[in-house]
Structure formats: structure tokens, C-alpha cells
Amino acid sequence: MKLADKKIYLASKSPRRRELLRQIGIDFELLLNDKEVDEQVLPDEKPAAYVARVTRDKLMSARQTMLYRQLPMRPILAADTTVVIDDLILGKPADMKEAVEMITRLSGRTHQVLTSIAVAFQEQMWQITQYSDVAFETLTDDMIRAYCSTQEPYDKAGGYGIQGLASIFIKDIAGSHSGIMGLPLFETAQLLQNAGLRILPPATL
């Protein structure tokens, strides 16, 4: 499978995903969906099914945009991340009250971060969901309120990002650091290589 060029489309607004793609040398162009994807959790929908569905919806919406705009055919990458504890999906807190509730729930416990990634090229699609465990130390009420008084919780699933201020709360992780950030690079590389993209340059020796 040959590509017209080595660039992909990224169907994500996340600055962290852009940073991670640059880290492994992937050239990309943003392809934001013309239509917003519904990210509401369906009745009785399990976290793994939810994050996989939302990722596929983002991917298919971006693909329709590519075809409608008659853009060059390239692999499209979409991803979605969710934070889960007690089988409950924690979205982005709407206000300080929600942020305090979320961080209080995470305090002193281990939760899961699920990131699903999907790549489409031509008529094929590949998808993987990566799971990581994150353990928070036990936080005082003052620590929680001080953290939630910053801007950090309000654009992140679960009210925190591992690369930000909340990193001082994290005792241990088991899984993928980049996956917790929003794009597991091992799995991402696998899917892009399935689509025919070369990640490493050719050997010169």
C-alpha cells in the first residue's frame, strides 16, 4: 500500500495529541469535523464500548469531510480518551463543584484511563483501545480545592492531565504514559504502519 505523501490527517482538537505525533516525527494536517460528534454516553453503555464508539464516529465524520471537500486521500487518525472509576465515566468538569467531586473520587484510589485510537485509509480501518491504571495519593480537602481553583481541570477528562499540575498527585501508573496523555504511541505507530506509513527512516548502514 503506497501513500501519495507521508502526511496524515488528525481528527482531533487536542494540543497534546499534536505534540505526541510530532514527538515521533509524524507530519499531519488537522481535519476537524464539519459536524460535531455526539459524545453523550448511551444508556447502559460500558466505558470501553463508549470510547471505541466515539472514536469511530470521529473518524467516520472526518472521512466524510475529506471526501466532501475532495481533499487528497491520506490516512486519518482519530482518538478519544476517557477516565473511569467504579465503572463510571468521568468527563470534563463543567464547573468547580464538578471538578472537586471528581478529584475527591479519585483521591487515594486507582482508576483507569482508556484511550481508543482508529486509523482509516482507503477502504480499511484499524482500531485499538489501550488501558492504563493510575493511582492517586490521598489528597486533603485543601489540596483538592487549591488544584480546582486553577484552570487545569476544566478541559480534561477526569479533571486532570498527567502532564500538568496534577502530576504531583500521581503515585504510580501501569500502562502507557502517552496513552494517559491521550495518544498511546506504541499502538498509534502500529496502526499507522498498517496504513502503509513508515515511522522510522530507512537504515543507512
Instruction: Give the count of alpha carbons within 13 A of 119, CB side only.
Output: 19
Q: Are 117 and 184 in contact (CB under 8 A)?
A: yes
Which of 38, 57, 80, 133 is catalytic? The answer is 80
Whether 172 is catalytic:
no
What is the distance between the alpha carbons of residues 131 and 86, in angstroms, rounded to a whole number? 15
Q: What's the full length of the chain, in residues?
A: 205
| pTM, full prediction | 0.91
Per-residue pLDDT reduced to its tens digit, 80-121:
999 999 999 999 999 999 999 999 999 999 999 999 999 999
Residue that is written with C-alpha cell 507521508 in the block:
6
